[in-house]
Each structure stands twice: as structure tokens, then as C-alpha cells.
Structure 1
Amino acid sequence: MSNVIEIPFETTLLVRDTCLCLHVQRAARALARRFDEALRPLELTNGQFSLMMSLNRPEPAAMGPVATLLAIDQTTLTAALKPLTRRGWVTILPNPRDRRARLLSLTPSGKAVLAAAVPIWKVTHAEVETRLPDGNADRLRRDLLALS
């Protein structure tokens, strides 16, 4: 005799149609693919663009705040930095105030790639905003920020 509990198919449809997590994940994947395709000529992914943009600041950035901004852990950040450092776009240096900590900064070639990516990002971003049904990107940003 089996004690398998059957979940009604109606529950599957309810989750499919109403689950915010599912819908946000689907939208995030679709957006990621769109930006990846747009940035492909620069051999840059949307994640790399976001990471490099987070390093576009007057002073080198500590890893902790960058990881927090990108909503990733430091291990994931370290892995994401590897291809960027191999390409010579990012440098990782010891923090002079704490030799165990690391500081991240864009190299001149990294800044050049980022500068080439910004116009692509602007065009792609504008296209995405026009696809919103009510055209209210600010509302969507506020709602997503509230969830994060």
C-alpha cells in the first residue's frame, strides 16, 4: 500500500499562474538572455556588465559591499571575477588597511570595455522598458526593490 499524496493538478495550475517567484525568475532569465545577446559583440555577459559597473567608482571597492550590491555571496563574486581578471579588465589587490581583505578596481582596458557597453545597455534597456504593458518602469523598479 502506497502513502503517496497526490497534489491536484489545479494546484499546479494555480502555482503556474500566480507564483511571484516563478514569474520573476522567468522574467529575469528572459531579460538576462536579451542583455547577453546585446552585449555578445563585446564578449561580455549581463552579469559581467553589472559587476564591472559596480566597480565603476572613484576608489577601489571592497568585496563585501560589491557582493551585497549584486545580491551574491563572496564565493560567487570571486568566481565571477576570475574571467574579468584573466582578460585584464579587473584588478584584485590586497587592502592596505587589512591584508586579508581585497579591493577591486577596473583597469583602463576594463573601463574601455565598460564604456563601449554602456550605449548598448542604454538601447537595450530602452527597448525593454517599451515592452512594459503600462509603460511604468519606475513602478516596476519600486516593486522589485520592495521585494529585494
Structure 2
Amino acid sequence: MSGRGSNEGVNRSNCSSTTLRKASRRLSLLYDAALAPCGLKTTQRAILAQIRRSEPASVGSLADALVMDSGALAHTLKPLERDGFIVHHINPEDRRQRLIKLTARGRSKLEESDTLWVQAQDAFDLALGKTESAMLRKALQSVLSDELAENFKRSLVNQNGFRTG
């Protein structure tokens, strides 16, 4: 039996999602090791850097920028707040919204991590190759695009009549 819905001939080791998740975990481990001297994990540094770029930031806008679920982000923010790297307060224009800002301690920690992050980035470029690294980032930007997400959803509907959220 072949056709729509058939698993015949599927190469499960060629799954884009699984390969990307594995690569992401590997890269996170490498960057975490590079950032270890400053005490931040890659995810924490990414969040602090995004806050620096967009502060004050709401949890929702921060989650959107980081392509994270708001609940998962709120959970990840707790240790950063506990350690005094961020503060949040109620948005005076919309009391339902919390605005997040870096503290002086958070800004200092982020600056401390900047040099380590640049070293990690340079090491990655050298290990993979500058051209390959640039091509990878370009491809990943395409994966992050809203256009890809819409095309993916449309393809699922066209293939199976499958509806996505």
C-alpha cells in the first residue's frame, strides 16, 4: 500500500526536526561549556541578551522574539530574577502585562559573558568553517521565518487535509 498516509519508504533517520534538535542540544552543550566561567547557560544568556536589545520587554514580546512558549519562558526567568539579573514590574499602561528589565548586576553579568560568547562563536566558525557557518545561519534564519511556518502548515493541509493551530 502506498500513497498518502503511508509510512512505506520513510527514512526516519532523515527527520529534519530530530536532526535539528540533536544539533541544537550538541551546540548548547558546547556553548554552555564555553560560558561556564561566567556561570550562565546558553539559554540564560540568550534571554538576557534579548532583554538588553528590547528592554523593557513584556513576557509575551520576549517569548515571541525567542520563539519560546510564554509559560516556559516564565519558568526560565525565575532563576534570573532570583539571582538579581532581572526585575519585573507592572506595565503602567496595561496592568495585565509585566515588563522585564536588566538590573545593573544582570547587565554586568551579560557583559562578562559577551567575551566568552564571542570566543564560542569564533570557535564554532573555525570548527565548522566560516563559509559553512554562515550558510548554516542563513538556512536557520529561513527555518525561523513566518513564511516557512505558513508554507509548512499549508503543505500539511494540502497533503492530508490536516489542520494545524
Query: TM-score surpassing 0.5?
Result: yes
Matched, 1:115 2:126: no
Where do 1:128-147 residues align within 5 Å?
128-132=124-128, 135-147=131-143
Matched, 1:99 2:95: yes
RMSD over aligned Cα atoms: 1.8
Q: Indicate which of 19, 33, 37 corresponds to 1:23.
A: 19
TM-score (norm 2): 0.77
Structure 2: tracts of 5 or more residues without a match? 1-6, 145-165
How far does residue 42 in structure 1 lie from its aligned partner after superposition?
1.7
SS in structure 1 at match of 2:131: coil
Q: Percent identity?
A: 30
TM-score (norm 1): 0.85
Where do 1:41-80 residues align within 5 Å?
41-57=37-53, 59-80=55-76
Q: Deviations over 1:57-108 (max 9, x none)?
A: 3741121111011111111111011000000000011001011101011000
Q: Which amino acid aligns with 1:77?
A: L
Q: Which has the higher helix share?
A: 2
1:36 corresponding residue in structure 2: 32
Cα distance in 1, alignment partners of residues 54 and 70 from structure 2: 22
Q: Which amino acid aligns with 2:97?
A: A
Structure 1: tracts of 5 or more residues without a match? 1-6
Cα distance in 1, alignment partners of residues 61 and 54 from structure 2: 15
Q: Is the 8 A contact 2:124 2:133 kept in 1?
A: no
Aligned residues: 138
Cα distance in 2, alignment partners of residues 104 and 42 from structure 1: 22
Q: Which amino acid aligns with 1:90?
A: I
SS in structure 2 at match of 1:55: helix
